[in-house]
Amino acid sequence: MEANQAVQTNAVSVKTKTKASFYQIVWRWHFYAGLFAAPFLIVLAISGGVYLFKPQIESMLYKDLYYVEQASDAQEATALAPSALIHFVQQMHPDGQINSIMFYDDRTRTVEIGMTENDIASSVFINPYSGEVLGSLVSGERFTDIFVKMHSELIIGGTVANYLVELAACWTVILLLTGLYMWWPRNRASIWGTVLPRFRQKGKVFWRDMHAVPAFWLSLFILILVLTGLPWSAVTGKQISSLATSTNTGYPPYALGHGAKPESTLKTKDVAKGGPWATENLPVPVSMASSYVPLTINEAVTIAEGAKVEKPYRVMMPKSEKGVYTVTTSHTVPGGEATLHLDQYSGAILSDVRYADYGLMGKAITVGIALHEGRLFGLANQLLGLITCLGVIGIVISSFVMWRKRKPQAKLGSPTPSKDKNRTRVVFVLMLVMGILMPLVGISIIVVFVLDRFVLSRIQPVKAWLHGA
Amino acid sequence: MIKKVAVSIMLAFVLISSAACTASTDTQKKQHVSSQLYAEIITPESIALKQDTVLQVRLTDHNEPVTKADLVQFEIWDAKKGQGQEGSQMIPAQHDKDGLYTVTTTFDQNGVYFVQTHVSVGEQHVMPKKQLIVGEVSAEELKAVQEEMLKHEQGAFEGHGGHHH
């Protein structure tokens, strides 16, 4: 009986000790992860928060280019032939090569013609009823393009920046998991300090609640934003797409307009020069008595409409004699996606892939991207995204305040390491498991570990500053 | 307790992530549309004025001759006049044998012509077109015709003219 009691007491104290040391270890991970991820999270939240409202912002900024002047006329008027629109643009830009033409589902929208002139890609906007060219925008220089670049490559651009964004995003997952662990009510379940902040408290408790409570509420949304953003990433994104391909659950062949394309069937020797792919719009005389002639853009559009492709869609011109007309839709809400490749000589539909043809993962990624960009369910989706972005900024600020309050003058102010070697190892192994799932995290853990173990630890002042002990 | 929660949260994450790996490897339900219908327009080496001229189109689907096409029509127009209701002549073709469909027509004037076959087989449609030169046409004439053709082409959509108001 007595022995039993002793065991019980012992068990309780071990349990408490376990909690404390695990908390200590997890806190340290959370601290270093946060220190790294915080600046990126701020940049991602600000740029993402702006980019969410791209449709509204651009409609306002580029109103004169995007919309025809007499909106009422647009209801009555009949659009000119696509070839006529291209002809007008070509007249204004004789050296420009027309690459694509985009039709919107809004009758008051202008038609957007993609063009390359002197190696500069731009969009020319033309009133489809009058043929008046309203102006052009250089690709990648629209207002929201800056925010996309900030969001995906931190403006500096390149692979390194792209990797850094991915690394920060993956570490955010770890921040969420470790944060939720620390948020979990330890002593007694109370709504104060868990689901509601203790406003009356001051100092550390107040700021802790200002950090942990909103973070708890937003954790699911932040996780969703990170996960739906990963298909874009260089390392994890590639893994996701190879997983989708290997399980045959991704996109069918030729599903994406910018990917591989089938070829038009004709041998080039049978073809008249001067197709839509040629730099000159004007056919060159041919010596052959009879030769195949590429279909016009008008015929390509008629075929696309006949195949029940709904606006908004873009038709890309064949790029060579063996090229195809490629039709891609750009619906805001997933479901209406279509990518068609048309033989430029016969008009045969060489490939027609719709949303319904996508595999399970292809569909999931498509919906995920729409959700990430705030397109899935209109304004509510945009607002949810915005709240999450603002929340992330707030969470970073409150964490910064907490850190400054705790931080000693001469040290980094990191939580003291646990003396429990075993539990430290358990958490380390768990982190390595995460590192396998998110390779960049794994690599960064190993790099930091090696650096810390073999370099930084040997420099006493650095060690003292960094580790706080 | 806490340890269990932490471990189970992480495990859940691992499981969810790896669930995708073992997810059903069902083959695609539906093979997406991919047309294999091919129409080869066969025209004489040279075309003489005011004589019966035979134009043919050979239809194959997956390299097999198509003997029961739903629609095979030849549309012929003078490049100078342009394609359209006034300028085009539409001739239904007859099936000879082995997927070879034929029309007979005559050309009354020198010049550049277009012949386009409109073919429907079930859900598939193809409409290849060829340029024909009838009689003697000089290079300048050819160029002029082709410039003219470009203008016609631009106005031909939805039957509306294509210039500034």
**pLDDT at residue number B25:** 36
Collect all residues of chain A within an 8 Å Cβ-Cβ radius of residue B135: none
Is residue B76 a part of any domain in this protein? yes
Q: What are phi and psi of B163, to 5 degrees?
A: -130, 165
Among A18, A264, A305, A346, pick the best mutation site for testing chain B contact (most B Cβ within 10 A): A346
Minimal CA separation from A248 to chain B, in Å: 6
On the 0-12 / 13-18 / 19+ scale of CB atoms within 10 A, A221 is middle
**Residue B131 in 3-state DSSP?**
strand
CA separation for the pair B114, B135 (Å, rounded) = 14
Which residues in chain B are closer than 8 Å to A299, comparing Cβ atoms?
A: 127
Any domain includes B82: yes
Interface test with A, best of B7, B59, B149, B157 (most A CBs within 10 A): B157
* Residue A278, number of CB atoms within 10 A of its CB: 17
Closest approach of chain B CAs to the CA of A122, in angstroms? 23
Phi, psi dihedrals of residue B30, rounded to the nearest 5°: -130, 130
Query: Does domain A63-141 match CATH 3.30.43?
Result: no
Query: For the domain that residue B81 is a member of, what is the CATH number?
Result: 2.60.40.10
Is residue B130 one of the residues assigned to a domain?
A: yes
Q: Cα dist. A452→A196, A432, A456, A458, A463 in Å? A: 39, 16, 5, 9, 8
pLDDT (tens place) for every residue of chain A, 469 residues total:
444 444 444 444 555 666 677 888 899 999 999 999 999 999 999 999 999 999 999 999 999 999 997 766 666 778 899 999 999 999 999 888 999 999 999 889 999 999 999 999 999 999 999 899 999 999 988 998 989 989 988 877 778 888 999 999 999 999 999 999 999 887 767 788 888 888 888 888 899 899 999 999 999 999 999 999 988 888 888 888 888 888 888 888 887 767 677 877 765 455 555 455 543 333 444 444 567 888 889 999 999 999 999 999 999 998 887 888 999 998 888 888 899 999 998 899 988 989 998 899 989 999 999 999 999 999 999 999 999 999 999 999 999 999 998 888 778 888 888 888 888 888 999 999 988 888 888 999 998 888 888 877 778 777 778 776 4
CA angle (A399 as vertex; A398, A402 as ends), nearest 5: 85
Q: Do B41 and A292 touch (CB under 8 A)?
A: yes
User: What's the first-to-final CA gap in chain B, in angstroms?
Assistant: 79
| Cβ-nearest to A184 among B5, B30, B41 | B5
B45 found inside a domain: yes
Contact A430 B10 (CB under 8 A): yes
**Residue type at A53 in one-letter notation:** F
Q: What is the pLDDT along chain B (165 residues), one digit of tens a residue?
A: 555 555 565 555 555 554 443 443 333 333 445 678 889 999 888 888 888 999 999 999 988 999 999 999 999 998 877 777 777 889 999 999 899 999 999 998 888 888 999 999 988 899 999 888 888 777 777 777 666 655 555 444 443 333 333
- Asked if B128's CB is within 8 angstroms of A292's CB, the reply is yes
**Structural domain of residue B123, as residue ranges?**
37-158
> Is B125 inside a domain boundary?
yes
So where are chain A's domains?
17-53+148-234+393-467, 63-141, 252-357
Domain count, chain B: 1
- Within 10 Å of residue A153's Cβ, how many Cβ atoms? 17
Q: What is the 3-state secondary structure (H, E, C) of A22-68?
A: HHHHHHHHHHHHHHHHHHHHHHHHHHHHHHCCHHHHHHHHCHHHHEC
Using one digit for the tens of pLDDT, what is the confidence trace for A346-379? Answer: 899 988 989 998 899 989 999 999 999 999 999 9
Q: Return the residue in B1, B28, B130 with the most chain A beta carbons within 10 A, the one to mutate for interface testing.
A: B130
Each residue's pLDDT tens digit, A201-255: 888 889 989 999 999 999 999 999 999 998 888 888 888 888 888 888 888 888 7
User: Pick from B33, B143, B156: which is nearest to A285 by CB?
Assistant: B143
How many A-B residue pairs are in contact by the CB < 8 A criterion? 172
Contact A402, A208 (CB under 8 A): yes
